[in-house]
């Protein structure tokens, strides 16, 4: 049991280099955040117009895009994808 867990934890992390998949993940998360805030309006956001609540989804999209696409290229000397 412990050796199985050890083998699982020693496997390399699967790094996805596909730009399409990165965009798709960011779009899904951003859309979910926007839809959730528009539909449920938690934290007193019912007083804020829907288009401003959707802005949180747009910010989420761009934050994920920048962290998944630009950070690895900026820190290419730090990340070792081969391992």
Q: Is 72 exposed, middle or buried (0-12, 13-18, 19+ CB in 10 A)?
A: middle
Residue 83 has pLDDT above 60, yes or no: no
Residue 66 has pLDDT above 60, yes or no: yes
**For the segment 10-43, what is each residue's pLDDT rounded down to a tens digit?**
888 777 767 788 888 889 999 999 999 899 988 8
Instruction: Tell me what pLDDT residue 30 has.
Output: 94
What is the spatial distance between Cα 60 and Cα 48, in angstroms, rounded to a whole number?
A: 18
What is the model's pTM?
0.67
> Cα–Cα distances in Å, from 68 out to 29, 44, 51?
13, 31, 26
Instruction: Tell me what pLDDT residue 18 has.
Output: 78
Residue 82 has pLDDT above 90, yes or no: no
Go through 3-41 and write b for each residue having 16 or more CB atoms within 10 A of its CB, e for each that does not.
Answer: eeeeeeeeeeeeeeeeeeebeeebeeebeebbeebbeee
């Amino acid at each position: 049991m412990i050796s199985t867990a050890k083998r699982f934890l020693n496997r390399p992390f699967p790094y996805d280099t596909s730009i399409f998949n990165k965009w798709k993940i960011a779009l899904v998360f951003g859309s979910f955040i926007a839809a959730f805030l528009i539909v449920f309006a938690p934290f007193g956001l019912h007083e804020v117009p829907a288009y401003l609540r959707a802005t949180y989804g747009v910010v989420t999209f761009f934050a994920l895009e920048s962290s998944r696409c630009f950070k690895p290229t900026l820190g290419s000397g730090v990340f070792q994808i081969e391992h």
